[in-house]
Amino acid sequence: MKLLIKNANVITPWEVLKEHSVLIENDKIKKIEENDNLDENCCNKVIDAKGNYLSPGFIDIHNHGNFGYDTMDASFEALDSMANFHLKNGVTGFLATTMTDSYEKIERALKNTANYIDVQNREKGSSQVLGIYLEGPYFSEEKKGAQPLEYIKNPNINELGNFIDASRGHIKIVSIAPELEGSFEIISYLKSNNINIAVGHTNSTFSKAKEAIDKGVTITTHLFNGMRGFSHREPGILGAVLIDDRVLCEIICDGIHLHTAAIKLAVKMKGTKGIILISDAMRAAGLEDGEYTLGGQKVFVKNNEAKLFDGTLAGSTLTLNKAVYNMVHKLNLPLKDAVVMASLNPAKAVGLSDQKGSIEIGKDGDLIIFDEKINVSTAIVNGKILYLKD
The pLDDT assigned to 1 comes to 82
Cα–Cα dist 272/390, whole Å: 34
Instruction: Determine the pLDDT at residue 36.
Output: 76
Share of the chain above pLDDT 90, in %: 94
Q: Is residue 357 part of a domain?
A: no
Q: Which of 41-55, 332-346, 358-372 has the lowest mean pLDDT?
A: 41-55
**49 and 97 fall within a common domain:** no
Backbone angles phi and psi of 345, in degrees to 5: -65, -45
Output the domain CATH number for residue 259.
3.20.20.140
In a domain, 355, yes or no: no
Same domain, 62 and 33: no
Geometric angle at alpha carbon 373, from 370 and 379, rounded to 5°: 20
For residues 44 and 163, membership in a common domain is answered with: no
pLDDT digits (tens, 9 = 90+) for 74-110: 999 999 999 999 999 999 999 999 999 999 999 999 9
In b/e form, how buried is each residue of 69-100, taking b as 16+ CB within 10 angstroms? bbbbbbbeebbbbbbbbbbbbbbbbbbbbbbb
Report how far residue 170's alpha carbon sits from residue 70's, in angstroms, rounded to the nearest whole number: 18
Residue 357 assigned as binding residue: no
Identified catalytic residue from 101, 280, 364, 366: 280
Q: Do the annotations mark residue 135 as ligand-binding?
A: yes
* Domain-embedded: residue 156: yes
Residues 286 and 367 grouped into a single domain = no
> For the residues 335-357, what does the mean pLDDT come to?
98
Average pLDDT of 263-283?
98
Q: Tell me whether residue 366 is one of the annotated catalytic residues.
A: no
Task: Kindly indicate the confidence band of residue 39, based on its pLDDT and cuts at 50, 70 and 90.
Answer: confident
Q: What is the DSSP code (8-state) at residue 49?
A: -
Which residues, at least 6 apart from 110, have a Cβ–Cβ distance to it below 8 Å?
Answer: 98, 132, 134, 163, 166, 167, 170, 171
Q: Mean pLDDT, to the nearest integer, of 157-184?
A: 97
Q: What is the pLDDT of residue 266?
A: 98
Same domain, 106 and 174: yes
pLDDT, residue 35, reads 86
Among 188, 240, 85, 61, residue whose Cα is nearest residue 134: 61
- The parent domain of residue 342 ranges over 58-349
Compute CA 164 distance to the chain's CA centroid, rounded to the nearest angstrom: 20
* pLDDT of 275 over the 80 cut: yes
**In-domain check, residue 356:** no
Q: Is 124's pLDDT higher than 80?
A: no
User: Would you call 42 exposed, middle or buried from its count of C-beta atoms within 10 A (0-12, 13-18, 19+)?
Assistant: exposed
125 belongs to a structural domain: yes
The answer to whether residue 121 scores a pLDDT higher than 80 is no
**CATH code of 9's domain:** 2.30.40.10
pLDDT in tens, 216-269: 999 999 999 999 999 999 999 999 999 999 999 999 999 999 999 999 999 999
What's the pLDDT score for residue 17? 97
Q: How confident is the model at residue 352 (pLDDT cuts 50, 70, 90)?
A: very high
What local confidence, expressed as pLDDT, does residue 44 receive? 82
The pLDDT, as a whole number, for residue 42 is: 78
Q: Do 182 and 233 lie in a common domain?
A: yes
Name residue 108's amino acid.
R
C-alpha Rg value of the chain to the nearest Å = 20
Has residue 37 got a pLDDT over 80? no
Point out which residues pair with 173 in neighbouring strands. Answer: 133, 196
Domain count, the chain: 2
Instruction: Say yes or no to pLDDT of 203 above 80.
Output: yes
217 within 8 A of 199, measured Cβ to Cβ:
yes
Average pLDDT, the chain: 96
Torsions phi, psi for 360 (to 5 deg)? -140, 145
Residue 182 labelled as part of a binding site: no
Percent of the chain with pLDDT over 70: 100
Non-local CB neighbours of 66 within 8 Å, separated by 6+ positions: 81, 82, 85, 86, 281, 282, 283, 285, 286, 319
Give the least confident one: 118-132, 299-313, 333-347: 118-132
Predicted local confidence at residue 191, as pLDDT: 97
Does one domain contain both 226 and 303? Answer: yes
CA 71 to chain centre: 14
Total H helices, total E strands in the chain: 10, 21
| 265 is known to lie in a ligand binding site | no
Q: Are residues 123 and 190 in the same domain?
A: yes
Is there a single domain that holds both residue 255 and residue 373? no
State whether residue 355 is helix, strand or coil: coil
pLDDT at 52: 98
Same domain for 119 and 166? yes
Amino acid in the structure at residue 252 = I
146 is in an annotated binding site: yes
Q: What angle do CA 116, 122, 128 make, to 5 degrees?
A: 55
Cβ contacts of 41 within 8 Å, gap of 6 or more? none
pLDDT digits (tens, 9 = 90+) for 147-167: 999 999 999 999 999 999 999
With bands split at pLDDT 50, 70 and 90, how would you rate the model's confidence at 120?
confident
